[in-house]
């Protein structure tokens, strides 16, 4: 790596390699789990079972009582979870 941020195919290739090797426990990372939930939603998987970490993230967000934050985050993640 030359210190530059990878983009496009390079980023996806590097992410895939990290994911498959589970380096840095990337498969359990919240960002990876949110991405996985987003992809499931985008491909039309109805009633997908979301990882417990993803559910807990959205429950914690809801419990904060900040309606604007609760609506903003899912809206920017492609409506991953809706009630």
Q: What is the per-residue pLDDT across 29-63, written as a single tens digit (0 to 9) for each?
A: 998 998 888 888 788 887 778 889 988 888 888 88
Instruction: Quote the DSSP letter at residue 4.
Output: S
pTM of the entire predicted model: 0.71
Structure tokens at 28: 């359990």
Domain ranges of the chain: 30-83
The number of beta carbons lying within 10 Å of the beta carbon of residue 53 is 14
23, 55, 44, 13: CA torsion to nearest 10: -10
Degrees, nearest 5: CA angle 47-53-54: 45
Mean pLDDT of 11-38: 90
Cα distance between residue 39 and residue 56, in whole Å:
19
């Amino acid at each position: 790596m030359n210190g530059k941020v990878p983009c496009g195919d390079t980023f996806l290739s590097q992410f895939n390699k990290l994911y498959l090797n589970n380096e840095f426990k990337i498969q359990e990372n919240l960002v990876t789990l949110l991405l996985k939930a987003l992809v499931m939603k985008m491909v039309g998987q109805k009633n997908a079972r979301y990882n417990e970490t993803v559910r807990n993230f959205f429950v914690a967000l809801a419990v904060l009582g900040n309606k604007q934050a609760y609506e903003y985050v899912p809206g920017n993640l492609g409506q991953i979870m809706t009630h």
